[in-house]
């Protein structure tokens, strides 16, 4: 089968990381090409892509209305003649001028559904994304969970109830969705009100709100407790996520939460906001802890509890087995291929 994945760009992020992993599984049995519309590309992430997958760069400037690039995309697709065109981004379908079999993965809960009727099939990355899509009027949507390379994450035996905790948060620095400001306010409460100082918080990632967050650290006078580590590639995350003692995801909304699944794969305790995507991954509390979304005081209380030895570490191994069963990328890729063949019959 000939599969075409079409995206706007390939910068480092959860969707892009997942797509590389899925393609690397799919090329083991199928012919796959990746079509990148905009010249918004991180060469490092593309270097992780299997050589079996040909990359077609349209090199359009973001927002450019030049029809030449649209024609280039469509001519490239016509020459490839795919059995399935799989799109992963909002409004990509507007550029497709041919009547291919097109499927769409929905990656978040805030998607605009106007283009869904054009799709031969819709796939949600989690049950909460499916529920939202059904409420938007598309009951045919199916859930195919996001996948990670579970076995690529290093795990080690660790000493719990440590005298000093290294806390990590991995994501884009984008407070409107990811809620890093909530976490910083909680850290301030932890230090100034609870007088707890036996920890350090590490932010891994970059984004448009980096300066805002750094200014916030200074205003809250918590520079001693917060480190900005910058963007790290996936190989670093796979190798070093297990070095941390607690993973925190303070998102205001999240369709899935790829880094939460990665933390569980590294056997790192997790604390997430009680929004649907991350809560689904932790089995509504069976595999990790949660706090009330947007409530810095509740987050500070939960951090205090964990730093004082109140995490149920018996969840760790159960969480690892859960991730292996439900979120390994080999399962995700296989389910997509089964769906492609079903649609094309």
Phi and psi torsions of 252, nearest 5°:
-80, -30
pLDDT along the chain (345 residues), means of 10: 96 82 95 95 89 96 89 97 94 90 91 91 93 95 92 80 90 95 98 96 96 98 97 91 96 90 96 94 96 98 95 94 92 95 93
Tokens read off for 41: 């590309």
The Cα 10–Cα 320 span in angstroms is 29
Residue-wise burial string across 16-42, b where 16 or more C-beta atoms lie within 10 A, e elsewhere: bbbbbbbbbbbbeebbbbbbbbbeebb
Residue 102 CA to its chain's centroid (Å): 23
pLDDT at 44: 85
Show Cβ contacts of residue 41 under 8 Å, excluding neighbours closer than 6 positions: 9, 10, 11, 57
pLDDT at 294: 97
Q: Are 19 and 88 in contact (CB under 8 A)?
A: yes
Give the global pTM.
0.81
Tokens read off for 233: 């590639």
Question: Among 261, 85, 43, 54, which Cα is nearest to 171's?
Answer: 261
pLDDT at 89: 86
Residues 232-281: tens digit of each pLDDT: 988 899 999 999 999 999 999 988 888 999 999 999 999 999 998 899 99
The Cα 69–Cα 61 span in angstroms is 9
**Residue ranges of the alpha helices (H) in the chain?**
14-26, 43-46, 67-80, 127-135, 175-178, 180-192, 210-219, 234-240, 258-265, 276-281, 296-307, 315-326, 329-344
């Amino acid at each position: 089968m000939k599969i075409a994945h079409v995206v706007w760009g390939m910068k480092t992020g959860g969707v892009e990381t997942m797509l590389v992993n899925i393609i690397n599984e799919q090329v083991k049995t199928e012919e796959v090409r990746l079509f990148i519309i905009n010249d918004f590309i991180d060469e490092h992430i593309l270097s992780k892509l299997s050589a079996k997958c040909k990359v077609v760069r349209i090199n359009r400037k973001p927002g450019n209305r030049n029809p030449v690039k649209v024609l280039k995309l469509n001519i490239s697709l016509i020459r490839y003649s795919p059995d399935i065109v799989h799109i992963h981004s909002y409004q990509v379908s507007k550029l497709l001028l041919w009547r291919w079999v097109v499927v769409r993965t929905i990656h978040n809960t805030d998607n605009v559904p106007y283009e869904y009727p054009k799709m031969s099939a819709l796939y949600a990355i989690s049950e909460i994304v499916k529920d939202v899509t059904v409420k938007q009027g598309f009951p045919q949507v199916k859930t195919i969970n996001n996948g990670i390379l579970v076995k690529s994450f290093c795990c080690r035996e660790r000493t719990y109830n440590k005298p000093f905790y290294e806390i990590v948060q991995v994501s884009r620095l984008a407070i409107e969705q990811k809620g890093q400001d909530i976490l910083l306010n909680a850290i301030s409460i932890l230090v100034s009100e609870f007088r707890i100082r036996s920890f350090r918080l590490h932010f891994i990632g970059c984004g448009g709100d980096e300066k805002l967050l750094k200014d916030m650290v200074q205003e809250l006078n918590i520079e001693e407790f917060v480190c900005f580590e910058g963007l790290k590639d996936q190989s670093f995350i796979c190798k070093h996520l297990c070095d941390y003692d607690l993973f925190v995801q303070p998102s205001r909304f999240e369709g899935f939460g790829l880094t939460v699944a990665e933390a569980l794969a590294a056997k790192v305790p997790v604390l997430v906001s009680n929004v649907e995507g991350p809560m689904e991954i932790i089995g509504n509390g069976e595999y990790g802890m949660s706090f009330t979304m947007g409530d810095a005081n509740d987050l500070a209380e939960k951090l205090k509890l964990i730093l004082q030895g109140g995490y149920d570490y018996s969840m760790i191994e159960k969480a690892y087995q859960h991730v292996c069963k439900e979120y390994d990328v080999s399962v995700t890729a296989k389910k997509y291929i089964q769906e492609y063949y079903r649609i094309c019959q």
